[in-house]
Structure formats: C-alpha cells, structure tokens
Structure 1
C-alpha cells in the first residue's frame, strides 16, 4: 500500500525570506531567486550572525553541505542551508582571501556542519574559527599540505 505525504504550505515565500535577510544584513548580496531556492554572497564578517538569524528567525533548520572552492586567487566557501518549514534551500557563498582563508564556524549552530568543516580544513586549509574540534579528518595530523588546493604539486615530497 502506498502512502501519500501531504506537506504544509510554506509560511514564507522566497521573496519574503530574501527581503528579511536583506533588511537585517544590507551587506549580503542577493545573487539569484528561483523556485524554492535563494543564492546569496555574504562577507565573512557577517556569516555567523547571518546564519544565526536564518536559524532562529527564519526557521532554517538544517545545514546540509559546506563546500570550499579554490579559484587560485581566492577561496569561496559554499553553504547549503535548508528551511523545511518554508521548503527553501539557501546557498550562501563567502569569499576568502588566499592568504587568510579564515571564517567563523557554523558548527555551533548546526552540528551537522562539524565534519564538513573539518573536511574543508583538512583538504583545502580553510580555518573555521570557533569550531569545537578543528583537526584533520582524513589525513594524518603531521601533514603540512592540503591536497585539494589547486597550487598543490602532485608527487612532491613533503
């Protein structure tokens, strides 16, 4: 026997959520609005407070992914944060300078971000300030390189 799942109508539209974020955080750039999707770019100084606002005021209950991207001249960390209440997936991008790839951890807000941030630290060298346990997750602690960086030379002796 098949089961029918009925979802509640979302409390807020994408536009309402985007407007609330822009009103509270004018430095956050809205990149794109699509059905059930929002895309933002935020300054790293605003990330933690933005995420706290999204969690506490806008019912974004889940951080599903933290992904670093190496553009050679800078890094971008991409966060996927979901509101199951409003059926919206928000993508928040934060650009980091290559010589200071540091950003506040969101693991204190969403425990599921813990291992994602550790992986980004281990493989790309992104430092998450305030992380409860920032250490390598795959490579030995004594390794002094980050193998997924584009400037990593394969085959070099370390």
Structure 2
C-alpha cells in the first residue's frame, strides 16, 4: 500500500478523523475514547496489518498532553502515526493498547512514571524509573524539584 493508498484507506475507514502528513508517514488524530478500537482495526484489518508498535510516547505542551503512537506493518512495510490530544492534564487517562501490542506494556509504564498519564486496562501500571515514593512526574513541564538548582 502506497502512502496515498493508506491515506485514502484512512479517510474511508475513519471518516471525520483529522489527518495530517509529516515527512515520513501519514498522521491520524483520534479521540482518546476511540484509540483502542481504531488501533485494533488497524492491526487486524488485512488491508493494513499494523502488527508492530515501534514507539509510544507523550509530549507535554504545557496546556495539554499529546500521545503519539508509531506503528508499522511488517507485511506491507508501511508506517502510520496516531496522535491523541489529552486536554485534562490533572486527570490524563486513556485506554491501554497493551492487549494489542505487548510492547505497549513498557511504553505505558514509562509514560505513567514520567508524565503521570494513566492507561485504563493496563495489566500492571507501575513506576519503572522513579522509586515508588517519588513525588510528581519529572518529564512534565510544570515539574518542580527542590533539589534541583535552576539557572
């Protein structure tokens, strides 16, 4: 499937969802409550077969978070980026994609640990870098640590 064919597939399969394009591959914007079903369709559909989640991360824009999912099809060799905007910084939560891609287990633990974004349905959300006693989430733009000297 070419990049143009993938964009056409996305338009037909997910009408009303915003698309954009970066230099490498198409980007599909998804509402947080739809992420699991959209990801499942993209993984299981014979036309796309996005069987490999090669990255899942978060961006803190100070006013909101942005979840970013990068996936590829090892069968068809096409890539896709899915983005989800999380408006509520204090209660940022969305469904886990771990049941679809086991790699998401560690990605989501890392995002929880460093940004504080929760993933409903995750089998064992826990801190993996910071100690259990650690207060706050160090990759947030508003994170304050009394032991760090600001220059």
- Bucket of the pairwise TM-score, normalised by the shorter protein: 0.7 to 0.9
What does 1:74-113 correspond to in 2, within 5 Å? 74-97=64-87, 98-113=89-104
Which residue is equivalent to 2:11? 22
- Greater Cα shift, 99-108 or 23-32: 23-32
Q: Secondary structure at the match of 1:106?
A: coil
Query: Is the aligned partner of 1:121 residue 2:112?
Result: yes
In structure 2, runs of 5+ residues without a counterpart are none
CA contact (8 A) 1:66 1:78 kept: yes
Post-superposition offset of 1:137: 1.0
Q: Determine the C-alpha separation between the residues in 2 that align with 1:141 and 1:16.
A: 46
CA 1:27–1:137 in 2, change beyond 3 Å: closer, same or farther? farther
Post-superposition offset of 1:33: 6.4
Greater Cα radius of gyration, structure 1 or 2:
1
CA contact (8 A) 1:15 1:33 kept: no
1:54 to 20, 24, 42: 42
Which residue is equivalent to 1:31? 20
Which residue is equivalent to 1:6? none
**Scaled by the length of structure 1, what TM-score is found?**
0.84
CA 1:136–1:24 in 2, change beyond 3 Å: closer, same or farther? same
**Scaled by the length of structure 2, what TM-score is found?**
0.88
Post-superposition offset of 1:56: 0.0
Q: Determine the C-alpha separation between the residues in 1 that align with 2:22 and 2:131.
A: 41
Which residue is equivalent to 2:33? 45
Post-superposition offset of 1:77: 0.8
In structure 1, runs of 5+ residues without a counterpart are 1-11
2:2 to 9, 13, 17: 13
CA 1:140–1:82 in 2, change beyond 3 Å: closer, same or farther? same
